[in-house]
Amino acid sequence: MLKIGGKAPAFKGINQHGETISLSKLKGKKVILYFYPKDATPTCTVESCNLRDGYEDLVEYGFEVIGVSADDVKSHVKFAEKNKLPFSLLADTNHDIIKAYDAWGEKSMYGKKYMGILRKTYVIDEKGKLEVIIEKVDSKNHVQQILDHYEY
């Protein structure tokens, strides 16, 4: 179980531009690492577009935004281009990052239980420690939900 103040699990993945992104390369930056179930689905699109719309403010406050799902790079390219997402989306097709961040678990839809990606967001500080953990993401107001943890 990950806890605020604890060390963020190391991660490395390929983004929609074919670049390798890792936590170690991001040392010295505040990282918003958000997990979402699937590209181009309604709620995931709303959440990603909310982060897009608040992206300039987040960057101004020193944040780097990174999305993670189990979709492949090709899917991320289409999703990012269609929605003009200015941040990296990591393809975690083998669920390594998703599981390391406790974002894989039991879900239910229409009374049916199944395993899937849990919508969660982590803010990692400049030293690689977990600063904020959001388990109940408000997709329409996610930027404000994140900033509410700070005094900006």
**Tell me: the pLDDT tens digits for 57-81?**
999 999 999 999 999 999 999 999 9
Percent of the chain past pLDDT 70, that is, above it, reads 99
Query: Which residues are the active-site residues?
Result: 44
How much is the pLDDT for 16?
97
pLDDT of residue 1 exceeding 90: no
Cα atoms in the 13 Å half-sphere on the side-chain side of 110: 0
How much is the pLDDT for 95?
97
pLDDT of residue 47 exceeding 80: yes
Residue 29 tokens, joined = 């930056």
How much is the pLDDT for 151?
80
Residue 15 tokens, joined = 């983004």
For the residues 70-94, what does the mean pLDDT come to? 98
Q: pLDDT band at residue 21, thresholds of 50, 70 and 90?
A: very high
List all residues 6 or more positions away from 113 whose beta carbon is below 8 Å from its beta carbon: 106, 107
Instruction: For residue 69, give the DSSP letter.
Output: E
pLDDT of residue 124 exceeding 70: yes
Instruction: For residue 60, give the DSSP letter.
Output: H
Per the prediction, the chain carries an average pLDDT of: 96
How far apart are alpha carbons 83 and 92 in whole angstroms?
A: 20
Tell how strand 104-109 and strand 63-69 pair up: unpaired
Tally the residues of the chain.
Answer: 152
The phi and psi torsions of 44 (rounded to 5 degrees) equal -65, -35
Cα atoms in the 13 Å half-sphere on the side-chain side of 13: 26
pLDDT of residue 152 exceeding 80: no
How far apart are alpha carbons 114 and 123 in whole angstroms?
A: 27
How far apart are alpha carbons 50 and 151 in whole angstroms?
A: 20
Q: Is 121 exposed, middle or buried (0-12, 13-18, 19+ CB in 10 A)?
A: buried
Percent of the chain past pLDDT 90, that is, above it, reads 97
